[in-house]
């Protein structure tokens, strides 16, 4: 097999990560206080154009903190796209709230704003939008609905650090926004997350909730039930180094998406997220949907890619099909989400991929699509 195994995602530690981590070790600042926490939070807020950024353990607890800070409680309903990573729906469950699912738009694969209003009830409190794979949601449409119905908006930007909507970086438009720095995201701290907001009171509450609920002005006084959802200084050190190179990370991802298009464009039966003119897509994953009319099973394609040393990953199941949520969407249909979920393949997408590696990925995919190779 020529070359290394190409994983679907891996972090690219191309800057000051090592230097900053060693600084944490050398100075003994390894826990959840330290200069890198403060520097990463400040730099991240500035990058997103938000007034406040609060670091936390991962993108899942970032969502939990966001819902808690908005006072979401049992019986509340939270509108979410059905095509997302499970954490978006789980966060609603942590608060005892009910996730209410909405289908995606066929073009962007993001929540379809035209289908939101029909799901709003007197119990609806918030909409969580997900900038799927790094393509921003049509925020103006969502914010107009939210204003009309007096709903909160949370941007789940876990996959979209640096994505823009009409020139605005995601993380500054909703009431709160959440980010993930897991190993397969645009930038990574290993595990890590961030909450951003422009509201100082919400930011203070998020900070208090992630610090066990402690009164910031009275040590060991806990006026509310909080959590230990802190990030470590070591993680923040990696995060700061990653953020220093965010332009490089985004440029590399945009470049390799263009390479994929070059290799696969014109191939019948393949479709993609359609990038809107107002979006900067940052490609957490380049994802291709293989039309069932080609008569090739997705599982066979992925298995074939594997024999060529390439990882391809099926798009996640839509939330309404998962056992904890299956009862919540009875009688509804989500044809667009189901189509992408059933036929989509996440292709290797890492800032460190080379042109040759992208070529190898595409060859491994095309071999299984072309009749000549299926006969082998
Ligand atoms: C990854 C992800 C999360 C959760 O982030 P973790 O850091 O893995 O907890 C939440 N929402 C979406 C859309 C994600 O892709």
Centre of ligand 1 to C-alpha 127, Å, is 17
Q: Is the CB of 80 under 6 A from ligand 1?
A: no
User: Among 350, 345, 348, which Cα is nearest to 368's?
Assistant: 345
Asked if the model's pLDDT at residue 274 lies above 90, the reply is: yes
8 Cβ below 6 A of ligand 1:
no
Query: What top-level class would CATH report for the domain 17-244?
Result: alpha beta
Task: Quote the percentage of the chain above a pLDDT of 90.
Answer: 95
Torsion on CA atoms 246, 247, 251, 253, rounded to nearest 10: 10
* pTM tops 0.95: yes
Mean of pLDDT values over 119-126 = 98
pLDDT recorded at residue 375: 43
The model's pLDDT over 217-246, given as tens digits with 9 standing for 90+, comes to 999 999 999 999 999 999 999 999 999 999
Nearest to 326 by CA among 109, 111, 114, 82: 82
Ligand 1 atom closest to 181 (CA): 7
pLDDT tens-digit series, residues 71-114: 999 999 999 999 999 999 999 999 999 999 999 999 999 999 99
Q: Are strands 164-165 and 279-280 parallel, antiparallel or unpaired?
A: antiparallel
β-pairing, 193-197 vs 176-180, is antiparallel
CATH of domain 246-375: 3.90.1150.10
- Residue of 178, 188, 284, 170 whose CA lies nearest to 236: 188
**How high does pLDDT run on average in the chain?**
96
Q: Is the pLDDT of residue 2 over 90?
A: no
Ligand 1 geometric centre to CA of 28 (Å): 30
CA angle 111, 252, 187 (to 5 degrees): 60
Confidence band for 374, pLDDT divided at 50, 70 and 90: very low
What is the helix (H) or strand (E) element at residue 286, kind and residue range? strand 286-290
pLDDT digits (tens, 9 = 90+) for 240-272: 999 999 999 999 999 999 999 999 998 999 999
Banded model confidence at residue 3, pLDDT cuts 50, 70, 90: confident
With a CB cutoff of 8 Å and minimum separation 6, the contacts of 167 are none
Q: What are phi and psi of 188, to 5 degrees?
A: -135, 145
Backbone φ and ψ of 168, nearest 5°: -95, 135
Percent of the chain's residues with pLDDT above 70 = 98
| Alpha-carbon span 100 to 85, nearest angstrom | 15
Which ligand 1 atom lies nearest to the CA of residue 60?
9
Q: CB of 105 within 8 A of CB of 126?
A: no
Q: Where are the domains of the chain?
A: 17-244, 246-375
How many CB atoms are located within 10 Å of the residue 334 CB? Answer: 22
Which H or E run contains 90?
A: helix 87-94
What does the pLDDT read at residue 1? Answer: 52
Burial zone of 372 (CB within 10 Å; 0-12 exposed, 13-18 middle, 19+ buried): exposed
Predicted local confidence at residue 371, as pLDDT:
58
Indicate which residue's Cα is closest to atom 13 of ligand 1. Answer: 85
Q: Residues near 179 by Cβ (< 8 Å), separated by ≥ 6?
A: 44, 59, 62, 157, 158, 161, 171, 185, 193, 194, 195, 196
CA 14–ligand 1 middle distance (angstroms): 23
b/e string for 341-363 if b means 16 or more Cβ within 10 A? bbbbbbbbbbbebeeebbebbbe
Distance (angstroms) between ligand 1 centre and the Cα of 194 equals: 11
pLDDT band at 326 (very low <50, low <70, confident <90, very high): confident
Q: Predicted confidence band at 341 (pLDDT cuts at 50, 70, 90)?
A: very high
Measured distance CA(337)–CA(317) in Å, rounded: 9
- Over residues 316-341, the mean pLDDT reads 95
Q: Are 55 and 41 spatial neighbours (Cβ–Cβ below 8 Å)?
A: yes
More confident residue, 369 or 99: 99
Q: What is the strand order of the sheet 98-102 is part of? A: 52-56, 193-197, 176-180, 152-156, 124-130, 77-81, 98-102
Quick check: 376 pLDDT over 80? no
Question: Does 290 have pLDDT greater than 60?
Answer: yes
- Pocket of ligand 1 contains residue 133 by CB under 6 Å: no
Ligand 1 centroid to residue 158 C-alpha, Å:
5
In the reported structure, the alpha carbon of residue 129 is separated from the centroid of ligand 1 by a whole-number distance in angstroms of 13
The protein residue whose alpha carbon is closest to atom 5 in ligand 1 is 59
Kindly tell me if the per-residue pLDDT of 165 is higher than 90. yes
């Amino acid at each position: 097999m020529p070359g290394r195994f190409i994983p679907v995602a891996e972090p690219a530690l191309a800057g000051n990560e090592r230097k900053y981590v060693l600084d944490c070790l050398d100075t003994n600042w390894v826990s959840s206080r330290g200069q890198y926490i403060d520097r990463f939070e400040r730099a991240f807020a500035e990058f997103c154009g938000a007034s406040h950024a609060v670091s936390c353990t991962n993108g899942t607890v970032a969502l939990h903190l966001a819902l808690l800070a908005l006072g979401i409680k049992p019986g509340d309903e939270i509108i979410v796209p059905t095509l997302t990573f499970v954490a978006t729906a789980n966060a609603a469950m942590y608060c005892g709230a009910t996730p209410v699912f909405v289908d995606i738009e066929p073009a962007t694969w993001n929540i379809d704003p035209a289908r939101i209003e029909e799901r709003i009830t007197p119990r609806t409190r918030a909409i969580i939008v997900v900038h799927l794979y790094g393509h921003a949601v049509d925020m103006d449409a969502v914010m107009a609905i939210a204003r009309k119905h007096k709903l909160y908006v949370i941007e789940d930007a876990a996959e979209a650090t640096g994505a823009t909507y009409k020139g605005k970086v995601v993380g500054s438009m909703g009431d709160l926004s959440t980010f993930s720095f897991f190993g397969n995201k645009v930038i990574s701290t290993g595990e890590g997350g961030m909450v951003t907001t422009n509201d100082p009171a919400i930011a203070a509450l998020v900070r208090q909730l992630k610090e066990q609920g402690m009164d910031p002005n009275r040590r060991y006084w806990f006026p509310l039930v909080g959590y230990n959802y802190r990030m470590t200084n070591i993680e923040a050190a990696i995060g700061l180094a990653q953020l220093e190179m965010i332009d490089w990370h985004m440029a590399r991802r945009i470049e390799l998406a263009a390479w994929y298009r070059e290799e696969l464009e014109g191939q019948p039966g393949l479709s993609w997220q359609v990038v809107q003119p107002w979006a900067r897509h940052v490609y957490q994953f380049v994802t291709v949907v293989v039309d069932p009319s080609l008569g090739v099973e997705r599982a066979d394609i992925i298995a074939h890619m594997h024999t060529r040393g390439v990882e391809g990953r099926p798009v996640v199941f839509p939330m309404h099909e998962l056992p904890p949520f299956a009862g919540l969407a009875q009688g509804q249909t989500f044809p667009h989400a189901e189509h992408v979920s059933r036929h989509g393949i996440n292709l290797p997408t890492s800032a460190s991929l080379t042109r040759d590696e992208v070529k190898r990925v595409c060859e491994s995919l095309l071999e299984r699509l072309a009749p000549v190779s299926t006969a082998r």
